[in-house]
Amino acid sequence: MRNVTPPEPRPPRVSRVLTLAAAVVAVGLLCVLFPRILAFVELAARELRYLWWLVLLAALGLYFFFFFGRKK
């Protein structure tokens, strides 16, 4: 009879670091492949200085939609 114990799982910290590294590489690759999108994102980030309240209202709306819309 053969021992079929599963291998030890990776620690959560290693998985988190690998996921973060993959996300950074993916964003960097997209910025290189699509420079116009990078320019749009830079412009949107600059405009957030003036439209932060709009982001706050959208977050508040999502909060109300998901947490107060549920039936108990």
- pTM here is 0.44
**60 has a pLDDT exceeding 90:** yes
Query: How would you label 20-43 residue by residue, b for 16+ Cβ within 10 Å and e otherwise?
Result: eeeeeeeeeeeeeeeeeeeeeeee
**Residue 27 banded pLDDT, cuts 50, 70, 90:** confident
SS3 29: helix
Residue 23 is predicted with a pLDDT of: 93
**36 has a pLDDT exceeding 80:** yes
**Residue 19 banded pLDDT, cuts 50, 70, 90:** very high
Place of tokens 């939609």: 65
Angle between helices 35-47 and 12-33 (to 10 degrees): 110
Q: Please check whether residue 43 is in contact with residue 36, taking contact to mean a CB–CB distance below 8 angstroms.
A: no
